[in-house]
Amino acid sequence: MTETFLICNTGSHSAILGLKWLDAHNLEIDWNSCTLSFPHSPPEHIAIAKEEEADHNPLEGVPSKYHQYAKVFGEEEFNKLPPHWHYNIGIELTEEGPLNLPLYSMTDAKSATLKDWLRDKLKAGKIWPSKSSISSPMMFVPKKDGSRQLVVDYCCLNNRTKKNVYLLPPPDNLMAQLHGAKVFTKLDLRWGYNNVQVKEGDKWKTAFRTKYGLYKSLVMTFGLTNTPAAFQHFMNKLFKDLLDECIVIYLDDILIYSKDDASHTQHIHEVLQCLMENQLFCKALKCTFHVTLVEYLGIIVSDKDFSLDKLKIQAVQEWLVPTKVKEVQSFLGFANFLHCFVANFSHIARPLHDLVKKDALWKWDAKEEDAFQGLKDAITNAPVLFHANPSKPYFLETDASGAALGSILSQWQEDGCLHPLGFLLESFKGAEQNYDTHHKELLAIIWSFEYWRIFLEGTLHLITVFTNHRNLEYWKESRTFNCCHA
């Protein structure tokens, strides 16, 4: 028989049969054998490709000159455990003792999803039945797209875990490396944290309880307190020779940058070779090759400047008014990631930060509402930030008020105007709040130079500072200095 199909992009599927087509042909479906049978004789069959047998075309979107790294973009390695590394994640407890929370109730639909999840993870070798003496419950958490993700609630385990203080790189520090870059490639690692095993002897601590049994995770998983730090350490170690040369890394997001297309090709070869040698894999559909404009960490990067991604701005615009402390913390966590685009960020957000302090009483009055809406407006109207250019002089505007200090670092651009490279605003803490005005004005200059040291130290040009000079005239006459001044 012959059928006519509309040719279109069907993603990983060879063909899609619509409900109307199935109804028109009155087909019989055998789910056990995965076949379709037409009701006329002699019977004819169409095989339903199983998920693992589908033609996924894993190299879709990958330039042909990188097809030699096809293994990096494949999926066949998912059912294998990642290799052992000397930096497999360890879980060091601060105290022993029982650690068992009750199961969370689930609807029939959620239970079915849980059963499928367990089956898939067992088949992939990522989890294993356990007899651990401690365990954590499983739950569903909402995702940005409205769906729900199944995760383990490791809250109690995390409270007893010694913290890994390996820092994640601030986005503005990452972006500072991109001056002079003209071409970009973004790679998205497949399976993220699952690429690192849990250290031998610690796997029993990852045990989680379900209505279908007790299991332990053999790989690093979302929800463990040290997972981000351990994974960033893992990635930085693998690519240490390329960091600050042609690559920036934030967890499983890799950005390759180069000054021209020829060197960019070589840089991509080096990165893909490293991924292949270390059995790390990328999802081609989420990768972008050889572009001059790229979205990275919610920031649009070009060869001249940075701007906020429209989706980030939309998310802020649609953010509902918080009704409890956790919702305020969630908003501040999201907004803080974008603080380098907002002048006076700390000053605007101060009432919200006060609200999440330990032992603070919940209240949402005009002050908190103004801070919330003010922060939303500031992010929505965030300016474009330019790349720092070491061949040009820097201009620094500083100011200090009763509660905070702030500054703007700028350079002249091609339009003949000063444009910002970034913003700094820090709240005064403890005794600093009691400093005299001339102390605070001087501190604003000192902190600004320290904050932007990577740009200002070693520059061949004079640095111009704009500040309230009247308050600083005190230092011309003062003859009394102490260790704080030094």
Regarding whether 399 and 283 lie in a shared domain, the answer is no
CA–CA dist 356, 75 (Å, integer): 43
CATH of the domain at 470: 3.10.20.370
SS3 164: coil
Tell me, yes or no, whether 39 lies in a domain: yes
Tell me, yes or no, whether 188 lies in a domain: yes
Quickly count: other Cβ atoms within 10 Å of residue 335's Cβ. 21
Tell me, yes or no, whether 216 lies in a domain: yes
Domain termination site, one of 35, 55, 75 = 55
CATH of the domain at 176: 3.10.10.10
Regarding whether 32 and 136 lie in a shared domain, the answer is no
What is the mean pLDDT for each group of 10 consecutive residues in the chain (486 residues)? 57 64 66 62 38 56 91 77 79 84 87 90 90 91 72 91 89 82 93 87 93 93 90 92 93 94 95 92 92 91 89 89 90 84 82 87 91 92 88 90 82 89 81 73 87 89 85 65 58
Tell me, yes or no, whether 486 lies in a domain: no
Regarding whether 170 and 272 lie in a shared domain, the answer is yes
Tell me, yes or no, whether 116 lies in a domain: yes
The confidence score (pLDDT) of residue 441 equals 82
Regarding whether 61 and 50 lie in a shared domain, the answer is no
**36-60: b (≥16 Cβ within 10 Å) or e:** beeeeeeeeeeeeeeeeeeebebbe
Q: Of 428, 381, 390, 427, nearest to 409 (Cα)?
A: 390
SS3 409: strand
DSSP calls for 294-315: EEETTEEE-SSEEEE-HHHHHH
Regarding whether 226 and 102 lie in a shared domain, the answer is yes
Tell me, yes or no, whether 303 lies in a domain: no
Regarding whether 326 and 405 lie in a shared domain, the answer is no
Regarding whether 240 and 333 lie in a shared domain, the answer is no
Regarding whether 286 and 184 lie in a shared domain, the answer is yes
Q: Tell me how many domains the chain contains.
A: 4
Regarding whether 157 and 50 lie in a shared domain, the answer is no
Regarding whether 161 and 106 lie in a shared domain, the answer is yes
Tell me, yes or no, whether 154 lies in a domain: yes
The confidence score (pLDDT) of residue 157 equals 92
**N-terminal to C-terminal alpha carbon distance within the chain:** 89
Regarding whether 215 and 281 lie in a shared domain, the answer is yes
Domain termination site, one of 273, 296, 319 = 296
CATH of the domain at 341: 3.30.70
Tell me, yes or no, whether 484 lies in a domain: no
The confidence score (pLDDT) of residue 30 equals 65
DSSP class of residue 239?
A: T
Regarding whether 127 and 273 lie in a shared domain, the answer is yes
Domain termination site, one of 9, 26, 55 = 55
Q: Which segments of 148-280 are extended strands (E)? A: 148-152, 183-188, 208-210, 213-217, 247-250, 253-258
| Domain around 375 | 308-380
